[in-house]
Amino acid sequence: MRIRLALVLLCAAVAAAIPPSAFAAGRTTLLAGLYADVARLPAVQVRNSLTKKLDAAQAAIDRGQNHTAINALNAFGHELHFIGNPGLIGNPNLIGNPDLLPAITAINDELVRVISELGGLPS
């Protein structure tokens, strides 16, 4: 009986010593590649907009709402398509810049992987 009580107390002490952020950090690694790729994009406005969509997806993952995370990631993908479409008219630093195509293709490949890992299909 004492051993069982000691074991319970030990488990409680270990659990209390692990901060909740340690658990969230493990989930964040799913989106880490996307965050890093977006950080390398040249236009600040584009980075901010895409990062907000990733933040929304991460918050949904943290709440265990994978379907909501997939929706946010699909919105991210739609904006990514808009940015990389050379047929669009706009500021060449923000959208329709064909020089961004390799980076956007790599981000899209990572996006497809993440959405699949969450159990969804990219739209």
Domain positions in the chain are 20-117
Considering only residues 89 and 112, tell me which one the structure prediction assigns the higher pLDDT: 112
Residue 96: per-residue pLDDT: 53
Provide the token pair at 3: 């051993």
pLDDT at 9 exceeding the cut of 80: no
Distance CA 106, CA 63 (A): 28
Statement: the pTM of the whole predicted model exceeds 0.85: no
Residue 35: per-residue pLDDT: 95
Distance CA 80, CA 101 (A): 10
Return left, alpha or beta for 119; rule: phi > 0 is left, psi -120 to 50 is alpha, else beta. Answer: left
